[in-house]
């Protein structure tokens, strides 16, 4: 029970990586606040956790709206009295395009959810953690925040921003015992990305190319990220802060010549 | 039991970080081969593991000698039948000096143990892991390998080299299911470094304060800080992580107070 008695808020926990983390954290003893924009999926994850004997609360949250975020924290404290872990996972990628082909609308949406959403959630949770004199904040960034990936202008900007924000927050809040790290996932197969990958799989050459970008010869699955998140959320990593940790099968770290 | 059924070789496990890693791995179900040049420390670690109900083997090993390393691998296979994890932890820092004050002897010694030793151990363990089609190799480097730190020329070269070697091994052996990652510990208080820190506390307390200040989390590291990170990388909880070098450093590498 590596998160025994801890309270975690996970944004975007209605599906994909967020859901996987919520389930795992609950199994490891954490009470979980499922902060999710989509009511149906958010409620379903909270129920899944409760069916397994865990403790969960669904709070409908649009991370890009400060009123929603403030309410998310109020309800979390009301139900669980403390916040030990915040996982800023909610993210979008509406436009797989290079810069000149990216609409202003898609730019604003991507930055609002992926970067400003991280800022807003952290902003409201930090004072709680400061009062408690401790906590672990985990941003889910992306490999695209570490290196240049084609056709992902807005996404790269938002995730690169998260990488920079991670380090900035780490230095500012370390003296309060608050650790801030990020995970930079590579290509992960989830319910959301499934159709994107199915498309690619129809072209075996293109699929081979995607696989080949990963030294470990496969794309990721949600538990690859969730288990890393567990490590960074728990007290086992109590001297680790400021990291942007790639969970990407070697995508960013190595090149086959 | 996060390493249930696994066999780990840990070099330099007679004291400090290596010992803590060995103890933790054994508690998590791994059989542990203690490869250590100092007999007393090595045997003491084995005894502690056995007292706690685990399984361990002491192998007197000078990792700078290929014949010692070959024997380390042979004996581990004889006793345990397989090798799942190699932690290249053995390391020295004989000369806290900048380049022009570093003797050739101190340079050779540092590079030999810290870098060539990791190369030799990896060289003889890899074929075993390739046959098994899997394994996890962890190099214990240092923040000093990732970032320029004063008065540590030879150490920086050896640890920077280790980080580069780790990435190279990651790309070459990934297709065998072998993952290779590196940890960069910050300043850790161990039985070995305590002498250095106590001396500083006495003779140069301002410098000691500065060293602590470089770690935003406000303290020196403890061996278990590194041991848990090693456990994560050694276990099946990190199956899609390779080629990384990861700071376990209280924020040393990535934060600067302006």
Q: Per residue in A66-75, pLDDT tens?
A: 999 999 999 9
Contacts of B221 in chain A (CB under 8 A): 239
The predicted pLDDT at position B52 comes to 97
The per-residue pLDDT of chain A, averaged, comes to: 96
pLDDT greater than 90 at residue B254: no
Q: Do A250 and B249 touch (CB under 8 A)?
A: no
pLDDT confidence of residue B191: 86
Q: Is A238's CB within 8 Å of B237's CB?
A: no
Rounded Cα distance between B5 and B102, Å, is 45
Cα-based distances in Å from A252 to A69, A151, A185, A215, B245: 32, 17, 10, 10, 12
- CATH topology classification for B7-186+222-248: Rossmann fold (3.40.50)
Is residue A180 within a helix (H) or strand (E), and if so which, with residue range? strand A178-185
Q: Which of residues 203-232 of B touch A (CB under 8 A)?
A: 216-219, 221-222, 225, 228-229, 231-232
Choosing among B183, B241, B252, B257, which should be mutated to test the A contact, i.e. which has the most A CBs within 10 A? B241
Instruction: Check pLDDT > 90 for residue B209.
Output: yes
DSSP string, A184-201: EE-SB--TTTHHHHHHHH
Q: Is the pLDDT of residue B247 over 90?
A: yes
| pLDDT digits 0-9 by tens, A188-218 | 999 889 999 999 999 999 999 999 999 999 9
Contact B119, B170 (CB under 8 A): no
Evaluated on CA atoms B173, B34, B227, B163, the torsion sign reads negative
Closest chain B C-alpha to A64 CA, distance in angstroms: 27
Mean pLDDT of B239-254: 95
Is A257's pLDDT higher than 90?
no
Residues of A in contact with B229 (CB under 8 A): 231, 236-237, 240
Stretch B222-232: mean pLDDT, rounded? 98
pLDDT for res A86: 98
A-B contacts (CB, under 8 Å):
127
Residue A224 — pLDDT band, cuts 50, 70, 90?
very high
Please, are residues B10 and B89 in contact by the beta-carbon 8 Å criterion?
yes
| Exposure letters A206-226 (e unless 16+ CB within 10 A, then b) | ebeeeeebbbbeebbebbbbb
CA distance B199 to B196: 5
pLDDT digits 0-9 by tens, B60-90: 999 999 999 999 999 999 999 999 999 999 9
- What is the model's pLDDT at position B192? 82
Q: What is the pTM of this model?
A: 0.92
pLDDT in tens, A152-178: 999 999 999 999 999 999 999 999 999
Residue A155 known to be catalytic: yes
Residue-wise pLDDT for A88-123, tens only, equals 999 999 989 999 899 999 999 999 999 999 999 999
**Which residue in B62, B65, B61, B57 sits closest to B81, CA to CA?**
B57
What residues does each domain of chain B span? 7-186+222-248, 190-220
- Asked if residue B117 has pLDDT above 90, the reply is yes
- The pLDDT-based confidence of B258 (bands split at 50, 70, 90) is confident
A239: left (phi over 0), alpha (psi -120 to 50) or beta: alpha
* Predicted confidence band of residue B257 (pLDDT cuts 50, 70, 90): confident
CA distance B257 to B225: 23
A248 touches chain B (CB under 8 A): yes
Residue A33 above 90 pLDDT?
yes
* Contact call for B242 and A253, based on CB within 8 A: yes
pLDDT recorded at residue B63: 97
User: Which of the four pLDDT bands, split at 50, 70 and 90, describes residue B256?
Assistant: confident
Domains within chain A, CATH numbers bracketed: 7-247 (3.40.50.720)
Structure tokens at A138: 């985990």
Nearest by CB to A250, from B216, B243, B253: name it: B243
Mean pLDDT across A228-254: 96
């Amino acid at each position: 029970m590596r998160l025994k008695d801890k309270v975690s808020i996970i944004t975007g926990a209605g599906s994909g990586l967020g859901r996987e983390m919520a389930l795992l954290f609950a199994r490891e003893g954490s009470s979980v606040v499922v902060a999710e924009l989509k009511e149906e999926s958010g409620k379903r994850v909270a129920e899944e956790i409760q069916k397994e004997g865990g403790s969960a609360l669904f709070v409908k949250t649009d991370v890009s709206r400060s009123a929603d975020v403030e309410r998310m924290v109020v309800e979390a404290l009301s139900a669980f009295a403390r916040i030990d872990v915040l996982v800023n996972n909610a993210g979008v990628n509406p436009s797989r395009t290079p810069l000149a082909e990216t609409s202003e609308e898609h730019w604003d949406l991507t930055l609002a959810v992926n970067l400003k959403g991280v800022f807003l959630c952290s902003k409201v949770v930090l004072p709680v953690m400061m009062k408690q004199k401790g906590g672990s904040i985990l941003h889910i960034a992306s490999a695209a925040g570490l290196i240049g990936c084609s056709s992902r202008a807005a996404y790269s900007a938002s995730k690169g921003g998260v990488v920079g924000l991670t380090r900035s927050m780490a230095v500012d809040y370390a003296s309060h015992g608050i650790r801030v790290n990020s995970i930079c996932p590579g290509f992960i197969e989830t319910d959301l990305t499934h159709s994107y990958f199915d498309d690619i799989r129809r072209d075996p050459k293109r699929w081979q190319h995607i696989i080949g970008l990963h030294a470990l010869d496969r794309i990721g699955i949600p538990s690859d990220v969730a288990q890393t998140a567990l490590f960074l959320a728990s007290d086992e990593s109590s001297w680790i802060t400021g990291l942007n940790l790639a969970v990407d099968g070697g995508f960013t770290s190595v090149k086959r010549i | 039991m996060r390493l249930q059924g696994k066999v780990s070789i840990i070099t330099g496990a007679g004291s400090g970080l290596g010992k803590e890693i060995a103890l933790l791995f054994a508690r998590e179900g791994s059989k542990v081969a203690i490869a250590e040049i100092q007999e007393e420390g090595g045997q003491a670690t084995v005894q502690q593991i056995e007292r706690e109900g685990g399984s361990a083997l002491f192998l007197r090993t000078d990792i700078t000698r290929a014949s010692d390393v070959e024997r380390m691998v042979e004996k581990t296979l004889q006793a345990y039948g397989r090798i799942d994890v190699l932690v290249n932890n053995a390391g020295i820092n004989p000369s806290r000096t900048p380049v022009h004050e570093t003797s050739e002897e101190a340079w050779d010694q540092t590079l030999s143990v810290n870098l060539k030793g990791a190369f030799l151990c990896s060289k003889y363990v890899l074929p075993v892991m390739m046959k098994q089609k899997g394994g996890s190799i962890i190099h214990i480097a240092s923040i000093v390998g990732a970032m320029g730190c004063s008065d540590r020329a030879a150490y920086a070269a050896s640890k920077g080299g280790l980080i580069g070697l780790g990435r190279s091994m990651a790309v070459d052996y990934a297709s065998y299911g072998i993952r290779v990652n590196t940890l960069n510990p910050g300043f850790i208080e161990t039985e070995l470094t305590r002498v250095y820190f106590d001396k500083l506390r006495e003779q140069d307390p301002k410098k000691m304060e500065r060293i602590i200040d470089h770690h935003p989390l406000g303290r020196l590291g403890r061996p278990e800080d590194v041991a848990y990170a090693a456990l994560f990388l050694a276990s099946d909880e990190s199956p899609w992580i390779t080629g990384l070098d990861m700071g376990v450093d209280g924020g040393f590498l990535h934060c600067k107070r302006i």
